Chain A
Amino acid sequence: MNNEELKQKTLTILPAAEMVENKQFLSFNIPSDGFYKFAKSLKESDDTSFDFLFCLTGMDYGDSLGVVYHLASTKYGHEIVLKVKAGDRENPAIDTVSDIWRTAEFHEREVFDLFGIKFNHHPDLRRIFLEENWQGHPLRKDYIDEVNIVER
């Protein structure tokens, strides 16, 4: 599928998706409630067949947090980017996609570790890099560590 066909396909499956213009990849803002079903249909339907999640990124937008998913199809070679907001800063949560793409299991643990975004129904949501008793989430913009961080 080329990008134009992918765009039409996306908007027919999920009309609430809004396209982000002028990006390297075809990008969509996806509302978080319909996200899991949408991701599953992208993986499973035969004409899209997005079988490869090649990047999963946590984001701190200031007022909210979010996750960006880069998907590719090894069968067709097309790519798509999904941007999902995770709600407010106190209680950010998104449905896990680790049962759709197994690689997301570790990536979601990393995002949970560094941004504190919870992934609903994740099989094993623990910290992956930092110690279990670590306080806070260091990649958040408002993270303060007076002991280790030297301000310039």
Chain B
Amino acid sequence: MGVKIKSMKNEDFRDNETLELFKETDGNIFLTTIDDILNWGRSNSVWPLTFATSCCGIEMMAAGAARHDFARFGIEVYRASPRQADVIVVAGTIVNKMAPVLKRLYDQMSEPKYVIAMGSCAISGGPFFYNSYHVIKGVDNLIPVDVYVPGCPPRPESLLYGVMQLQRKIKAESFLKHQFNRNTITNE
């Protein structure tokens, strides 16, 4: 038992500033302040879809259960309907026959929507990358992915870390500006 695995230090978590650099202020203090409030609310109530295709799903359930309890971070309640979900955690292998189902579920989710690719199968096909005729080699071939969580399967702590990265990403977005731009484009 000589191996000691260091956990991530709390101050290291925000060491990487790239995500925050996404945020463009454009000098509009009013909009960004409202954005901050909106994003605070959105990022702290991310509702995942009940969707798991293999062993990563077990780790996701463990992350949701009492010991790890990711409701602490606001990724609160599993929705059985894609129309009520904000994030789809692709937990497991996606085979060719499952691909249209996943695409349909993603399309049924309402905007804004996010995708976490959990585990090596969802990221790249994983152990099925070689010599398999039936597996989608990475769900980013089907739907856009926001956060990749590596592992086979990832520990619940990894999923928690991935979820917290997603929350950072949501906080860096400008929801209002996006809506504004979309409305002006449609009005013209």
A interface, CB within 8 angstroms of B: 129-131, 138, 143, 145, 148-152
In the complex the two chains form, is A145's CB within 8 Å of B133's CB? Answer: yes
In the complex the two chains form, is B130's CB within 8 Å of A152's CB? Answer: yes
- Closest residue to A138 on the B side, CB-wise? B133
Give, as a whole number of angstroms, the nearest-CB distance from A135 to chain B.
11
* CB of B103 within 8 Å of the partner chain: no
In the complex the two chains form, is A150's CB within 8 Å of B131's CB? Answer: yes
Chain B residues whose C-beta falls within 8 Å of the C-beta of A129 in the assembled complex: 97
* CB of B134 within 8 Å of the partner chain: yes
Give, as a whole number of angstroms, the nearest-CB distance from B126 to chain A.
13
* CB of B175 within 8 Å of the partner chain: no
Give, as a whole number of angstroms, the nearest-CB distance from B188 to chain A.
44
Chain A residues whose C-beta falls within 8 Å of the C-beta of B134 in the assembled complex: 130, 138, 148
Give, as a whole number of angstroms, the nearest-CB distance from B130 to chain A.
5
Q: How far is the CA of A150 from the CA of B129 in the complex (A)?
A: 7
- Closest residue to A136 on the B side, CB-wise? B133
Chain B residues whose C-beta falls within 8 Å of the C-beta of A151 in the assembled complex: 130-131
Chain B residues whose C-beta falls within 8 Å of the C-beta of A131 in the assembled complex: 97
* CB of B183 within 8 Å of the partner chain: no
Q: How far is the CA of A152 from the CA of B130 in the complex (A)?
A: 7
* CB of B132 within 8 Å of the partner chain: yes
Give, as a whole number of angstroms, the nearest-CB distance from A35 to chain B.
31
Chain A residues whose C-beta falls within 8 Å of the C-beta of B130 in the assembled complex: 149-152
Q: How far is the CA of A129 from the CA of B96 in the complex (A)?
A: 11
In the complex the two chains form, is B133's CB within 8 Å of A143's CB? Answer: yes
Q: Mark B73-97, 1 if CB is under 8 A from A, else 0.
A: 0000000000000000000000001
Give, as a whole number of angstroms, the nearest-CB distance from A126 to chain B.
15
In this complex, the member of A131, A150, A152 whose beta carbon has the largest number of chain B beta carbons within 10 angstroms is A150
In the complex the two chains form, is A152's CB within 8 Å of B131's CB? Answer: yes
Q: How far is the CA of A148 from the CA of B132 in the complex (A)?
A: 7
18 A-B pairs within 8 Å (CB atoms) are namely A129-B97, A130-B134, A138-B133, A138-B134, A143-B133, A145-B133, A148-B132, A148-B133, A148-B134, A149-B130, A149-B131, A149-B132, A150-B130, A150-B131, A151-B130, A151-B131, A152-B130, A152-B131
Q: How far is the CA of A144 from the CA of B132 in the complex (A)?
A: 11
Give, as a whole number of angstroms, the nearest-CB distance from A23 to chain B.
29
